[in-house]
Amino acid sequence: MRTVEWNEERVCLIDQRVLPAEFRVLRLETPEEVARAIRDMAVRGAPAIGAAAAFGLALAARRSRAADRAGLWRDLEEAAAILRAARPTAVNLAWALERVLRRCAAESDPDAIRGVALAEAQAIADEDVEVNRRLGEFGAALIPDGATILHHCNTGALATVDYGTALGVIRTAHEQGKRVHVLVDETRPLLQGARLTAWELQQLGIPFTLIADNAAGHFLRTGQVNLVLVGADRVAANGDVANKIGTYKLAVAAKENGVPFYPCVPTSTIDLSTPTGDDIPIEERPPEEVTDLVFRGMPIAPSGVRVANPAFDVTPHRYVTGIITEKGIAYPPFGVSLRRIVETP
Amino acid sequence: MRTVEWNEERVCLIDQRVLPAEFRVLRLETPEEVARAIRDMAVRGAPAIGAAAAFGLALAARRSRAADRAGLWRDLEEAAAILRAARPTAVNLAWALERVLRRCAAESDPDAIRGVALAEAQAIADEDVEVNRRLGEFGAALIPDGATILHHCNTGALATVDYGTALGVIRTAHEQGKRVHVLVDETRPLLQGARLTAWELQQLGIPFTLIADNAAGHFLRTGQVNLVLVGADRVAANGDVANKIGTYKLAVAAKENGVPFYPCVPTSTIDLSTPTGDDIPIEERPPEEVTDLVFRGMPIAPSGVRVANPAFDVTPHRYVTGIITEKGIAYPPFGVSLRRIVETP
């Protein structure tokens, strides 16, 4: 199944909180349940969040008992507000909701709105898979045979509707017959690398080595990495990139060692209305994500410690070699190239 | 009690594998047991390892049944070889063993050797505490009132015989009445920051915030850190620093943001016979240190994954602002300043 899909009037999600220990599917019946799944990170990854939110809005349209357009519209706007507030950083969330709302606004009949809301959400999901495959082709052209690729967080099928962004690039290179080896950052605090990326690479038969995030610098400095691939939650108009916490330090170390650093994103992740990275809200997540860890039977921190847990950081564009999208690769100056790529039909 | 001490013909160590959940003291009776405690990281931190090894050699001298000097010397050399092989990176281990052996070599009577072996190990332990206090005074002079200090791994009383190196600097500043706040890197994989540094700071009443290592770059980039303090396992003659994995990436990000980066070491950690960081052996530790982690009841990685687990990395001297020792602070060019500081009586 896809990471996010519509099935029998429900939004079905692979619950990413329990992988790889368990493969569990959530079947959500209300937009509130979808918002909670996004907030609790049962579904995560900017493109997957976008598709889940779009389906959540379709759910609102179809479950609304409003008989007239005005009543239905109120229900839709209420659901959109709840979904939009679930997480602040990934721009795909707002982008997908706007897209469904805009499509609905063109209809006057409530039943027609119920139909197009689902059709548009489904289109967003289908396009995401197609977009990732095209992105994968552009990115794979950069990967030499025998490459070692350092990867942070999870950007695979689980972060998208299917196939993946940065991991989709790696998968495309692998399917093209190139030998690749992936150094998988475990990605504390939520360990999306160890839990999800390692699991996906295992399924795909792509060779990899799991490392603590702290070890990435050692491999970069000692010349053992050919390129760094990551996803992103939002790309600002100037090319600054918000992505999973730890990306910034990795990008700085990559540049310091002359290793190319490429975020891989659908153009829906590029937000031309956000001028720079400083304008991107950085989500602070619960302290338990850092402390709820047991090592050899023992909690990893004394009780009652104060914790800071920013979920994302901003990598200024000067560390970014290029941004791989489904319409090609944007290179500096990003202020020009990103606008051109977004505006390309 | 001290982290490492001699008591009733045994080497007593605070078992750092079970902190902060449990305060357990190991009472070791043979050099082999001491070597195992070092290898398994029941005791860790370069100065603590040095003192433990010295006491381990004293144990060998006192337990040897050899009646003549030659037999005793064979037992001592055998024990020294076992202890020296326990871990490769910290130079204090070899330094402490050499110091005890050199002192023993000056004696001819077996019983005199048994006496001086213990006396020399005790001197190493006592001097370590004294050295850390002097180091703390030099370092504290660099800390402004109200400073936020980023700290990696554990360099406190638990990493030494007592008081600590980088954490000793912070403790001295705190005792001088300066307001300090410590950002504590959790320090994956073995979480010495979350487990040990957080625990020590709690005991000392020094305010701190625990963060995932990945978050350090965010705090550096957003101007929330005044200086970075770390320990080291070996400093090469040119100022390159081997320290806990993750230090390199941190140092690069610090320099990139104009934040001073100071390793804090006793001069026994400076190894003038190692020309550069490339000549320092980097220990590869068991994969289970990365994967033996349970998050919310689930293992963090699928079974059977390949893991790389380098325990240390090398920070080239160009990222090092200064090296704080008990004899003052060495500044670039380190090739000159480190030699001068080591040769100062």
Alpha-carbon span B197 to B303, nearest angstrom: 31
pLDDT 10s digits, A141-191? 999 999 999 999 999 999 999 999 999 999 999 999 999 999 999 999 999
B59: pLDDT confidence band, cut at 50, 70 and 90? very high
- What is the rounded average pLDDT for all residues in chain B? 97
Q: Residue A3: which residues within 8 A CB-CB, separation 6 or more?
A: A13, A14, A43, A45, A48, A157, A158, A159, A160, A161, A162
Interface check A344 vs B, CB under 8 A:
no
Same domain for A315 and A171, yes or no, is yes
Instruction: Please answer yes or no on whether A186 and B310 come within 8 Å at the CB atom.
Output: no
Residues forming beta bridges with residue B284, ordered by sequence position: B310
Same domain for A175 and A98, yes or no, is no
pLDDT 10s digits, A248-282? 999 999 999 999 999 999 999 999 999 999 999 99
CATH code: domain of residue B72: 1.20.120.420
Same domain for A141 and A52, yes or no, is no
Same domain for B213 and B104, yes or no, is no
Q: What pLDDT does A140 receive?
A: 98
pLDDT 10s digits, B210-258? 999 999 999 999 999 999 999 999 999 999 999 999 999 999 999 999 9
Instruction: Please answer yes or no on whether A295 and B191 come within 8 Å at the CB atom.
Output: yes
Same domain for B194 and B328, yes or no, is yes
Amino acid identity at A35: A
pLDDT 10s digits, A119-129? 999 999 999 99
User: Which domain range does residue B291 map to?
Assistant: 133-343
Instruction: Please answer yes or no on whether A313 and B282 come within 8 Å at the CB atom.
Output: no
pLDDT 10s digits, A222-246? 999 999 999 999 999 999 999 999 9
Cβ-nearest to A308 among B215, B293, B316: B215
Interface check A95 vs B, CB under 8 A:
no
- The last residue of one of the domains, among A111, A131, A151, is A131
Alpha-carbon span A285 to A308, nearest angstrom: 8
Q: Which of A233, A240, A271, A313 is catalytic?
A: A233
- The last residue of one of the domains, among A89, A116, A131, is A131
Substitution target from B17, B295, B303, B306 for chain A, most A beta carbons within 10 A: B295
- The last residue of one of the domains, among B76, B107, B131, is B131
Same domain for A192 and A325, yes or no, is yes
Q: φ and ψ at A297, to 5 degrees? A: 85, 0
Amino acid identity at B19: L
What DSSP line would sit under A257-288, residue for residue? Answer: TT--EEEB--GGGEETTS-SGGGSPPPB--TH
Same domain for A100 and A140, yes or no, is no
Alpha-carbon span B125 to B120, nearest angstrom: 9
Q: Which of B233, B240, B271, B313 is catalytic?
A: B233
B175: pLDDT confidence band, cut at 50, 70 and 90? very high
Alpha-carbon span B169 to A90, nearest angstrom: 41
Residues forming beta bridges with residue B192, ordered by sequence position: none
Same domain for B124 and B138, yes or no, is no
The nearest CA of chain A is from the CA of B245 a distance in Å of 6
Same domain for A231 and A171, yes or no, is yes
Same domain for B123 and B139, yes or no, is no
ipTM of the complex as predicted: 0.96
Instruction: Please answer yes or no on whether A186 and B301 come within 8 Å at the CB atom.
Output: yes
Instruction: Please answer yes or no on whether B212 and A246 come within 8 Å at the CB atom.
Output: yes
Q: What pLDDT does B204 receive?
A: 97
pLDDT 10s digits, B200-210? 999 999 999 99
Same domain for A46 and A102, yes or no, is yes
Alpha-carbon span A15 to A18, nearest angstrom: 6
Q: What pLDDT does A120 receive?
A: 98
pLDDT 10s digits, B107-162? 999 999 999 999 999 999 999 999 999 999 999 999 999 999 999 999 999 999 99
Cβ pairs A/B, distance under 8 A? 214
Same domain for B31 and B107, yes or no, is yes
Q: Which residues of chain A neighbour B300 with C-beta distances below 8 Å?
A: 186, 191, 194-195
Instruction: Please answer yes or no on whether A301 and B189 come within 8 Å at the CB atom.
Output: no
**Active-site residue B185, yes or no?**
no
In this prediction, residues A19-39 reach a mean pLDDT of: 97
- Provide the domain count of chain A: 2
CATH code: domain of residue B176: 3.40.50.10470
In this prediction, residues B288-296 reach a mean pLDDT of: 94
